[in-house]
Amino acid sequence: MDGSGKVTLDFSLAEKMHAEGTLLFLAELKRLLRHVKGEVEIDCILPHNNKVAQVLKQVGVLDLLGVTAPIVPVDHDVVNWKAAHGTQVLGEKYDDILQQYDGDIAELLQDKLYTGITEAMTNVINHAYDFSRDDGLNVAPMKEWWMFSQQQHGHLTIVFCDLGAGIPRTLPMKRPGVWRRIVNLGRTSDSDVIRHAVEDSVSRTMKDYRGKGLGQIVRVVSGITGATVNIFSNRGVHSVKCGVKPQSVTYSDSILGTLIYWRIPLPVKEAA
């Protein structure tokens, strides 16, 4: 940011856009633009890499910044990036980004994905924004979420995020019994909290087969060889992969919110 109150986002050296990082960046950018309300000018330096430029155009970043450069997304691994945004639990938003995969995804998996994604939306509406966000901005919260899908290298990637308080901050109030067990074990890092929240939710889901938040989100990958779900929240991440022991990691920096990443192999299509 220079002395004139102008902010320049420099994409010139960007070489690759990962779906989860790109979605989080897009969500933060939209929130920031709403906060400054035109009082701060934000522009960008375009990337040298043409594919990165295509992605920024495809997901709407360049349009948000008012960039009018003649960039047209044409590459196959760019044009299949789909985005959705909402403030409610809306099943039709699922169709906005995943309808194109009808016939590619088995019916059971379609049902699991739909349930997992709508559970993520429900968590946003019911829990994510109950506390202020620790980012230093005095911004009234909106119960909103963002979602991407991307098909690449024989896999379908779906990413969902919110910019709320995060699981580690909301769980002590929402699930006090689980929180007491975590405290008694002396394992209260963000990744530990996510892991215990997932394990408790999976256990409850398996008992009565009703929608149970994180349990339904994780069940998407059950029985699908090579499928993965990563749940990032604040400084922690909990990763579940079919047939592999779950892993948890705590980082030094926080994403100040929650991001869920599913990666699922798609069946190989036979040549016509």
Per residue in 173-200, pLDDT (tens digit) is: 888 888 998 999 888 899 999 999 998 8
pLDDT in tens, 228-244: 999 999 999 999 999 89
Q: What angle do CA 168, 173, 177 make, to 5 degrees?
A: 90
The single-letter code of the amino acid at 49 is: N
| CB-CB contact of 147 with 159 (8 Å) | yes
Which of 16, 26, 10, 17 has the alpha carbon at shortest distance from 259? 26
- Does this model's pTM top 0.85? My answer is yes
The Cα-based distances of 121 to 74, 207, 232 in angstroms read: 31, 22, 15
Q: How many residues does the chain have?
A: 272
| Per-residue model confidence (pLDDT) at position 272 | 46
> What are the extents of the domains in the chain?
1-79, 83-272
CATH topology assigned to domain 83-272: Heat Shock Protein 90 (3.30.565)
